[in-house]
Amino acid sequence: MVQNFRQAFWNEPMVFELGNNRRRGFILPKAEETIQREIGEIDKLIPSNIRRTKPPKLPQLSEVEVVRHYTRLSQMNYGVDLGFYPLGSCTMKYNPKINEVLAELPGITMIHPYQNEETVQGILEVLYWLERWLAEITGMYEVCLQPAAGAHAEFLGALIMRAYHKLNGDETKRSELIVPDSAHGTNPASGTMAGFKIVVVPSDNEGCVDLKALKEAVSEHTAGLMLTNPNTLGIFERNIEEIAKIIHSSGGLLYYDGANLNAILGKVRPGDMGFDIVHINIHKTFGTPHGGGGPGAGPIGVSEQLAKFLPIPRIVFDGNRYRLDYNRPYSVGKIRSFYGNVAVLLKAYAYILSLGAEGLEQIAEVSVLNANYLVKKLRGIKGLTLPYDEAKPRKHECVFSAERLKKQTGISALHIAKRLLDYGFHAPTIYFPLIVKEALMIEPTESFEKETLDKFAETMRKIVKEAYENPEKLLKAPENTAVPRVDEVKASHPRTMTLSWKMYQQKLKEMRNNY
């Protein structure tokens, strides 16, 4: 049965508009005289031009008022804890709460990166072993945890490629980085930032790298190839060993974009496929929160010959103590302050430890099963097609096209995505990969059960039926969400966005003046 959905809507004022300035939300006890004197001393250390002359205008709210405010706001939000979230390529899986509990322990939150390494042996041990586990999982020699995201790791990977070719006296000659036309936009962007010229190779009829085109693209100018496997169509690049041979025999390096690692966890390792550099999106594969541009982590793994280029410091273990090693003359330098996003990394450590080797393998099995189950349920819906060999099994995700539906009804992938919100589902990724017109990229992950997948498939069927029978309805969607249909352009334009309380106040003033 298609579910009814109506997202909570609260006409909620901002926290600064709540409360009453004649009330006090909280009264701090008066500090003892010695402490008052100390605070006075500290105050004097702050230069007068940046010292506050008036107390800040904090909202005066009691604890329960604050709780109500944020609870109401949380009901206007949507997340994996609330429902299906098939945002393709992003692996929006459930983040177990035990990970959050561990990352909030005072032993974790109260340590400081400037502490002497002797006093932070515990976290160094966690990070050291996380590096070792990720090396084992990906089949790489050494792993570095510093990059803050996949794109950040791609940039680092490109720098490592440069350093490698430079050491071979090849830096200026090897100026080209090859990426397939199915690649994520960050691949060419990171390569360009690192100074490479991007060479795009097309996909063949089966949705894989076209080997003939790859051979033609490769030359003595090739620095390397960036590839994700399975690729963004959810199809496993079966010729990966051949691809590795082509790249390596030309003197280039093979970079693995690990965004799709979920599909092959414990089954096959990028290192064994021939990749020299691998990144892991911790916030995708390893169950840590993801989204809103918040902190993630994108550890990078390399083969033995590239280990000397990794960022410093490296965490080393002498059999007794952990310490930070800065003595790496070939290192590309630092890519991020301190050790990376430690709280996120700790959650991944907990996730791996709680699942174990068998559990990790089951992730791959169930996520692939779920994706192929959805393929079976969605295939044959009038107006939708599954480009690139319908009969071929997918890995963790599938990409449908609404091109035919658009031609017949005017209803596009965007309209389907918006209408799904009305039925209480997060939208799939749309218009990516670029090689599929009107793309709907669906990744169910392992976190959702058959009943939810059935409901989603039935809802998709219903929406397509609406497209043929009552397209007007879809043009207005979503109507059941806290925030109804937004103007696509205005919603992402910096001039119309109100990002702070100050901007909001300014806008209110302007609006009042205009009326």
Ligand X SMILES: *Cc1c(COP(=O)(O)O)cnc(C)c1O
Nearest one of 255, 300, 299 to 273, comparing CA atoms: 255
Spatial separation of the C-alpha atoms in residues 441 and 431, rounded to whole Å: 8
Of 180, 298, 383, 424, the residue at the interface with ligand X (CB under 6 A) is: 298
Of 99, 138, 146, 186, the residue at the interface with ligand X (CB under 6 A) is: 186
If one asks whether residue 429 binds ligand X (CB under 6 A), the answer comes out as: no
- Residue with smaller CB distance to ligand X, 182 or 409: 182
If one asks whether residue 232 binds ligand X (CB under 6 A), the answer comes out as: yes
- Residue with smaller CB distance to ligand X, 184 or 394: 184
| Sheet with 439-442: strands ordered across | 398-401, 439-442, 429-430
Number of residues that bind ligand X (CB under 6 A): 13
If one asks whether residue 237 binds ligand X (CB under 6 A), the answer comes out as: no
- Residue with smaller CB distance to ligand X, 176 or 257: 257
If one asks whether residue 89 binds ligand X (CB under 6 A), the answer comes out as: yes
If one asks whether residue 438 binds ligand X (CB under 6 A), the answer comes out as: no
Smallest distance from ligand X to CB 151, Å: 3
If one asks whether residue 182 binds ligand X (CB under 6 A), the answer comes out as: no
Spatial separation of the C-alpha atoms in residues 460 and 375, rounded to whole Å: 12
If one asks whether residue 207 binds ligand X (CB under 6 A), the answer comes out as: no
Count of residues making up the chain: 515
Residues 6+ apart with CB under 8 A from 490: 496
If one asks whether residue 257 binds ligand X (CB under 6 A), the answer comes out as: yes
- Residue with smaller CB distance to ligand X, 250 or 367: 367
Of 99, 222, 228, 229, the residue at the interface with ligand X (CB under 6 A) is: 228
Torsion of CA 440, 441, 444, 450, to 10 degrees: 40
Q: Please tell me whether residue 236 adopts helix, strand or coil conformation.
A: coil
If one asks whether residue 422 binds ligand X (CB under 6 A), the answer comes out as: no
If one asks whether residue 184 binds ligand X (CB under 6 A), the answer comes out as: yes
Smallest distance from ligand X to CB 296, Å: 5
State which of positions 114-153 bind ligand X (CB under 6 A): 149-151
Residues 6+ apart with CB under 8 A from 351: 96, 99, 286, 287, 288
**Planar angle of CA 398, 402, 407, nearest 5 degrees:** 160
If one asks whether residue 203 binds ligand X (CB under 6 A), the answer comes out as: no
If one asks whether residue 262 binds ligand X (CB under 6 A), the answer comes out as: no
State which of positions 10-39 bind ligand X (CB under 6 A): none
If one asks whether residue 296 binds ligand X (CB under 6 A), the answer comes out as: yes
Enter the tokens of residue 163.
């350093």
CA distance to 133, 343, 397, 500, per residue, from 506 (Å): 51, 37, 45, 10
Residues 6+ apart with CB under 8 A from 349: 126, 129, 130, 133
Residues that bind ligand X (CB under 6 A): 89, 149-151, 184, 186, 228, 232, 257, 259, 281, 296, 298
